[in-house]
Structure 1
Amino acid sequence: MELENQGSPIAVHAVRQLTATMLSSEVIVGVKLKTFLDKNCTCISPRRHALYRTKTEVEFQLLKENRDINEAHVQALMNSFERDGYLFTVIYLNERLEIIDGQHRYEAARRKGLPLHFMIMPGWGMREVTILNVNSRDWTITDFMETHAKAGNPNYVRFREFYLAHDFDVTTCQLLVTGRRSGRHASTDEFRKGLMQVDEQQVTEAYLKAKKMASMQPYHPNGWKSRNFVEAMLILLGTKGYDHEHLVLKFKTYPDILLAGAKSLRIEEYLRIFMDKYNFRRMKDKLELPRKHL
């Protein structure tokens, strides 16, 4: 089903109902979904998408592709239940009783022996998990990377291998691999939605770039892994006529005091230091940055 919004079709989720086939399917060994709902739950709102409350302690399934349970988060929720009371919240399951949204709330409530309120959304899976969490502050960009990689997305599997092999954070790895970082507006961020495209050639080139970043560690020990440093270096690497070995030799011969002690600088500050050092005592063939970076 789609709705029109200023001329653009927008997909509407959660419009399917539980079918007879779903109700008769086995969700726990020897137990069908309909039997489970009738015996273990109370239907609070018997409408198109019924709201249920568990009567007894039950164990729902975790999606293997979803992010791992964060024990600190679970403990914080349990403490909140004790301190602030147990607020009415709803978790979402699919017809196989796999948790789509609310796995930390489920785990905290389960350990406390508290009833769970849930709705069953037929057909929901990892796509809906991602959509629900794209704008969530609880999900970090690392969570999205791990989730898409665990789901078998080859682009994220390649990217994660590069990430694990280096000391850069995920956003800086994006700069090295794709040339751009995640957008500030999560709803339009391809990385979070699982739409990033990365091929083997990009990863191979990223390894070479990362090696060049690491060659600057002796001259900028506290900041060579920072995003601004990496972004400034990438600008240099993309500048016509740039010779990285020449820059390293200049820093080795004429160390920069500011760079040696700083944790991170602005991109334009890095570029000024790089250009001054690169062109120092160079009488001809001086490096010039593209106009857009001046």
Structure 2
Amino acid sequence: MIQKTKNYGQFIFLEKNRAIAKPRILALEKSIKQVGFIDSRPIIVSPKMEIIDGQARFEALKKLNMEITYQIEYGDKNELMVILNKAQQSWQFRDYVDFYANDNVTFYKKVKEISEIKSLQTSNALVIVAGTKVPGDKVKIGYEFQINPFANEIVNFLIKASLTLPYWKTHKFVYSIVELFKKTNTKQRDILLKKIPTIPQQVTVSDYLFYFENILNKYKKKDDLKIKLISAK
């Protein structure tokens, strides 16, 4: 049975449920203002009023000072929560990046800018700008990472590589270049760039780094230290 209330305090948030993303709440607010709340999509709660599905809808309705439309389900709340969350249409990383970039968050503005260069794509831009792998849950809440000081240089390197490498935009290659910049200097990267056309597509990031390592050590000066790009296993 569907019920309604404005007693927001009786609802309980479950720790196991996924984090609420701010852009999702704001998008719902906008939608509700335009067309109203559809009662056929009530918030699902347990008999203890724990929100199983509909945290973002709850927050949007609360902010608009509207009644909460809810329905009590008497099944296992953890199982229901997983099933319902998976069934929902989720935002892509690009949607979150666009939202926070439009909200003037510096890190995401930079990610958006780089993602649009030669269609580098959001997943690659996130790695380039952060200088490391980026947890998806951090992106959803708009966490502002420190901007990688090599970001622009990495993009320029990739653009030059694109002239001869058909796979230059693959995520593993891009990530290997991000790692390369952490452990090499400009002269070494220039040497590698000249040899880029000879590098076949690899399966893993480690494979690329091993290949780079061999090339750089082959062309290093006799008295230079041996270059090590991957950690010993």
Same fold (TM over 0.5): yes
CA contact (8 A) 2:216 2:227 kept: no
1:1-294 to 2 correspondences below 5 Å: 45-48=3-6, 97-98=32-33, 121-123=61-63, 138-183=90-135, 186=136, 189-198=137-146, 202=148, 205-220=150-165, 222-241=166-185, 243-251=188-196, 255-256=197-198, 259=200, 262=201, 265-280=203-218, 282=220, 284=222, 285=224, 287-290=226-229, 292=231
TM-score, normalised by the number of residues in structure 2 = 0.59
Alignment CA distance shift 1:165-1:281 (3 Å): closer
What CA distance in whole angstroms lies between the structure 1 residues aligned with 2:232 and 2:179? 8
CA shift at 1:237, angstroms?
1.7
CA contact (8 A) 1:158 1:198 kept: no
CA-to-aligned-CA distance 1:146-185 (integer Å, 9 cap, x gap): 22223343432232122223432212111111112332xx
What CA distance in whole angstroms lies between the structure 1 residues aligned with 2:107 and 2:205? 29
Identity of aligned residues (%): 15
CA contact (8 A) 1:236 1:289 kept: no
More helix by share: 2
What CA distance in whole angstroms lies between the structure 2 residues aligned with 1:215 and 1:147? 30
Cα RMSD of the aligned pairs, angstroms, is 4.1
1:215 alignment partner, SS class: helix
Alignment CA distance shift 1:117-1:268 (3 Å): closer
What CA distance in whole angstroms lies between the structure 2 residues aligned with 1:246 and 1:192? 39
CA shift at 1:142, angstroms?
0.9
CA-to-aligned-CA distance 1:61-100 (integer Å, 9 cap, x gap): xxxx669x9xxxxxxxxxxxxxxxxxxxxxx658x9437x
1:207 alignment partner, SS class: helix
More strand by share: 1
Alignment CA distance shift 1:196-1:233 (3 Å): same
CA contact (8 A) 2:192 2:212 kept: yes
Alignment CA distance shift 1:293-1:160 (3 Å): farther
1:98 alignment partner, SS class: helix
Query: Between Structure 1 and Structure 2, how many residues are aligned?
Result: 181
* Residue matched to 1:35: none
CA contact (8 A) 1:141 1:170 kept: yes
CA contact (8 A) 1:159 1:198 kept: no
List runs of 5+ in structure 2 lacking aligned partners. Answer: 9-22, 44-57, 65-84
**Structure with the greater alpha carbon radius of gyration:** 1
2:167 alignment partner, SS class: coil
CA contact (8 A) 2:132 2:178 kept: no
CA contact (8 A) 1:171 1:181 kept: no
List runs of 5+ in structure 1 lacking aligned partners. Answer: 1-43, 51-64, 70-91, 110-114, 125-132
CA shift at 1:206, angstroms?
1.1
Residue type at the aligned position of 2:167:
G
Alignment CA distance shift 1:290-1:175 (3 Å): same
What CA distance in whole angstroms lies between the structure 2 residues aligned with 1:196 and 1:136? 26
Residue type at the aligned position of 1:279:
N
What CA distance in whole angstroms lies between the structure 2 residues aligned with 1:224 and 1:46? 54
What CA distance in whole angstroms lies between the structure 1 residues aligned with 2:107 and 2:230? 33
Alignment CA distance shift 1:117-1:93 (3 Å): farther
1:45 alignment partner, SS class: strand
